[in-house]
Chains A and B, each alone.
Chain A
Amino acid sequence: MLSQLLFLLLLSTGIFFFARRIGVIRRNIKSGRDWDGSDRKSERWATMARVALGQGKMTTRPVAGFMHILIYAGFVIINIEILEILIDGLFGTHRVFAFLGPLYNFLIASFEWLAAGVILACVVFFIRRNGMAIARLASKDLSGWPSLDANIILVVEVLLMFAFLSMNAADAIAQSRGLEHYVMAGSFPVSSWLMPLYSGLSDAGIIAVERGMWWFHIAGVLAFLVYVPYSKHFHIILAFPNTYFSNLNPKGQMDNMAAVKKEVDLMMDPTADPFAAAPPSDEPPARFGVKDAPDLTWKQLLEAYTCTECGRCTSECPANQTGKLLSPRKIMMSTRDRIEEIGQQREANGGTWQPDGKSLLGDWITEEELWACTSCQACVEACPINISPMGIILDMRRSLIMEDSKSPESITSMFNNIENNGAPWAFPAGSRGDWTQEV
């Protein structure tokens, strides 16, 4: 009974902190601008099914893709076991699904094989991150916390899987000794390798290992639950809404700013009164483009929280490949850092945010990074969960130009040429058709 209460306390603590953190992230994401993703529902579900559920873009890199699918399958399927652990913990039962008989044996055996697969993949990932000079994983983008975050996740996953297998090994020994409560159930193809580790223990020792690993495993899972939304690892949840809200238009299509269209329509309307005062409005005029994180749409902020910092975008970026400062991954990481900071200030200030004199553009992301982008969409194509760093880059250029009139001199000349001659170069518009005389 005491252990059931302790379990309930542990479970509710984990869920409480998880839910509280989700609330914060939800508020942060919703502080972005409007974006309408309510259209084309069946296409959205299909995209989510293919890209997130089906891992459709992962295997473009075969090694990382295959290993990732191992961990993904392990995570999803082993969660059936978590259900049993929850019921056992709350109601004081032991292996409550054992009545399923052969099916139960099959399930436990497959969980064990998956656990072994997860351990293998995590070890490979750990070596790739720390022992091999893989550019996107050794990048300075990840120095400090991001790199530690990745390693914590890998180590914790290995520990959890080890605890799960040890629990089974001890349970199997307890079953073979006919100890009380330990019903004959399950099939232990992997944990049987661990049995020699524990077989020398007394009956009390075996029970201590089994119970200890059981508690360590579930406590670890709950700690992981609380940790995940503070980590890049949150993609395990957000990948689903993020791919649901994927951009379904051609990648080359850039949005036409509605606020600008209104101005241009007025300018082109011969009946409009050029001296008319602007209609009164309570709202301050919105900024053109993106200067700070709240100028982004909620979808873009969702992307920032979804990014798992794999760096496929950066490794495909032609600017990055040729040594320029731009790293699309860093654009996403900076965006998340900034909206996180604003969120913390807002929570500390009772729910309203006072501008702090800093901005995403300038303090996190520099003009040099923005001007290195060729808008080639390689980063968008490379992202396994359909994030668009390019969208943020181009939206920030809009702020540079339309709010701050800051552009490289040659870009200013290009604008002037288009305004004056209708072409980005200084050729007279009248000579546009001259080539027709040369065919």
Chain B
Amino acid sequence: MSAFHIPTMAELTAAGQTPDVLFWVGCAGSFDDRAKRITKAIARILHASNTSFAVLGQEESCTGDPAKRAGNEFLYQMQAAQNIATLNGYGIKRIITGCPHCFNALKNEYPELGGTYEVLHHTQFIRELIETGKLRMSGDTPFKGRRITFHDPCYLGRANGEYLAPREVIQKLDAELLEMRRCKQNAMCCGAGGAQMFKEAEPGEREVNHARTDEALETQPEVIATGCPFCNTMMTDGVKNAEQESNVVVKDIAELIAEAADLLEAPTA
């Protein structure tokens, strides 16, 4: 039983409607149980802020990012061609996504192949919602004064130069934002990118995500905030490995906002 209905592009088009934005969910957000919680948080935020949106549902397919970065340009371009045909078929103009890898592919790599859209990472869109008053924080957010550190996703930060949006959104929580020793353009990778998520790590002394989690834990946070479902998996695993799961939670910024915002009081569609 769902609290509200999330329309697909196919449904809206059949009804002669066009949403303002497409929510590009991504594979992790669609299938991975942990990442689905992030997806649902984003959907709740979109719904509560009265954003006119839809998803592609079964018509969405992998952007091809992991294939491209693993060297399979054919597979990537086949995926891109298919997705661009779908997106252009619906006349999509504006896309928001919770996955920095999808964000990077859609924003930077699809235009040359015929798919040009305005693409926003969910933290950028949430910032816009807050700035335009469409989303309000509770007077007393559950994160007031809490220690939160933010792990920059490579494909949002270094890859696309967006360091501010996630931090500005976290600051709306009235929390204490702690910076890791290495952050922003110097942030260390969680270890999942470049298709590493889908393979065993090469032989070495330790796992990248364990090393990065140590850097996060140095700030003595209560929450490690992420903006990427893969980073989320890696940091969650790192916290478990450090046996800190009773002290530290790993949450996407969308989840923090969904918990803190006046979602129920917002006007409903």
Contact = CB atoms under 8 A, between A and B. Distances in A.
A250 B155 CA distance: 10
B64 interface: yes
B264 to A, nearest CB: 14
Contacts of A427: 30-31
Nearest to B210: A322
Interface centre among A410, A434, A438 (most CB of B within 10 A): A438
B206 A407 contact: no
Interface in A252-280: 252-254, 256-257, 260-261, 263-265, 267-268
B69 to A, nearest CB: 5
A3 interface: no
A86 B7 CA distance: 78
A375 B194 contact: yes
Interface string B29-55: 111100010011001100100000001
Contact of A256 (B4, B55, B66, B113): B113
A424 B154 CA distance: 20
Nearest to B162: A250
Interface string B173-208: 000000000000110110111111111111111111
Contacts of B189: 318, 374, 376, 378
A326 B194 CA distance: 14
Interface string A379-392: 01100000000000
> Size band of the A side of the interface?
35 or more
A425 B185 CA distance: 30
Contacts of B60: 422, 432
Given A322-B208, A374-B193, A375-B69, A437 B2 contact: yes
A252 B161 CA distance: 9
Given A374-B192, A433-B55, A319 B204 contact: yes
A318 B208 contact: yes
A183 B146 CA distance: 74
Contacts of A372: 201-202, 204
A289 B64 CA distance: 17
Contacts of B246: none
Given A376-B193, A439-B2, A408 B72 contact: no
Contact of B30 (A60, A371, A433, A437): A433
Nearest to B77: A264
A399 B71 contact: yes
A184 interface: no
Interface stretch (B88-96, B104-112, B249-257): B104-112
Nearest to A416: B75
A378 B158 contact: yes
Interface in A309-345: 316, 318-319, 321-326
A394 interface: yes
B171 interface: no
A414 B67 contact: yes
A401 interface: yes
A402 B212 contact: no
A408 B199 contact: yes
A325 B202 contact: yes
Given A254-B69, A433-B8, A318 B202 contact: no
Interface string B55-75: 101101110101111111111
Nearest to B206: A322
Contacts of A252: 104, 108, 154-155, 158-160
Given A438-B36, A439-B40, A394 B69 contact: yes
Interface in B128-187: 154-155, 158-161, 185-186
A36 interface: no
Given A376-B194, A439-B3, A316 B58 contact: no
B78 interface: yes
A371 B75 CA distance: 18
Contact of B198 (A380, A394, A410): A410
B98 to A, nearest CB: 12
A407 B160 CA distance: 28
A400 interface: yes
B159 A322 contact: no
A368 interface: yes
Contacts of A368: 202-203
A109 interface: no
6 contacts: A251-B158, A321-B208, A399-B71, A407-B71, A414-B66, A414-B67
Given A250-B161, A411-B198, 9 more contacts: A251-B158, A253-B159, A257-B77, A288-B73, A380-B158, A402-B71, A410-B198, A414-B66, A432-B60
Interface of B: 2-6, 8, 25, 27, 29-32, 36, 39-40, 43-44, 47, 55, 57-58, 60-62, 64, 66-75, 77-81, 85, 104, 107-109, 112-113, 154-155, 158-161, 185-186, 188-189, 191-208, 211-212
5 residue pairs, one from A and one from B, having the closest CB atoms: A252-B159, A323-B205, A375-B194, A397-B71, A422-B61
